Amino acid sequence: MTRRPSQSLEFDAILDEHRHLRDLVRLIQLGVLHPRPTAGVVRRLLDELDVALRSHFEHEERDGYLHDAISVEPRLSCLANRLFQEHADFLAAMDALRQLGARASETGDWAEFAGAYAGFCRRFDEHETAENRLVQDAMNRDMQAED
């Protein structure tokens, strides 16, 4: 199967979104690792991450590269659907993190937030890695089919 040019462009756009999200996630990590985190900055970055995640998830679920991958390799649809379902869990986790962040900015104790955020980062990294791998598998399958 020959890949339409728009599919390649779409994949690049999503990789850019993944990079942007990864940078935001790391910025917050760095902010929280500081001995005295600047509450306003951390909370503003959390708001930014929340908006970016919602837009990214909507993009992926609506017409993103995961759909292109499924059209190339329908057997990947089960895994893609599981990844889509995880989006709701991440948004719920973001709500909880924003509440923890609000509490930490009042008390000055960021330990609970840092622990919860570390878990979020680990799960989100696994999620994004699984998506990249899924697309890579579909592209490999597509190239084998062309041979």
Binding site residues, Fe ion, CB under 5 A: 60, 128, 131
Least Å distance between CB 147 and Fe ion? 29
Residues 6+ away with beta carbon under 8 Å from 108 = 36
Q: Which is nearer to Fe ion, 114 or 121 (CB)?
A: 121
Smaller CB distance to Fe ion: residue 95 or 109?
95
Q: Count of CB atoms within 10 A of residue 1's CB?
A: 11
Nearer to Fe ion, 128 or 142 (CB): 128
- Cβ-in-10-Å burial (0-12, 13-18, 19+) of 67 comes to middle
64 φ, ψ to 5°? -75, -175
Minimum Å distance from CB 138 to Fe ion?
15
Shortest separation between residue 32's beta carbon and Fe ion, angstroms: 22
Gap between the Cα atoms of 29 and 130, Å rounded: 22
Shortest distance, CB of residue 67 to Fe ion, whole angstroms?
12
* 24/27 Cα distance (integer angstroms): 5
What is the C-alpha to C-alpha distance for residues 66 and 47, in angstroms, rounded to an integer?
A: 26
Residue 68 or residue 131: which is nearer to Fe ion going by CB?
131
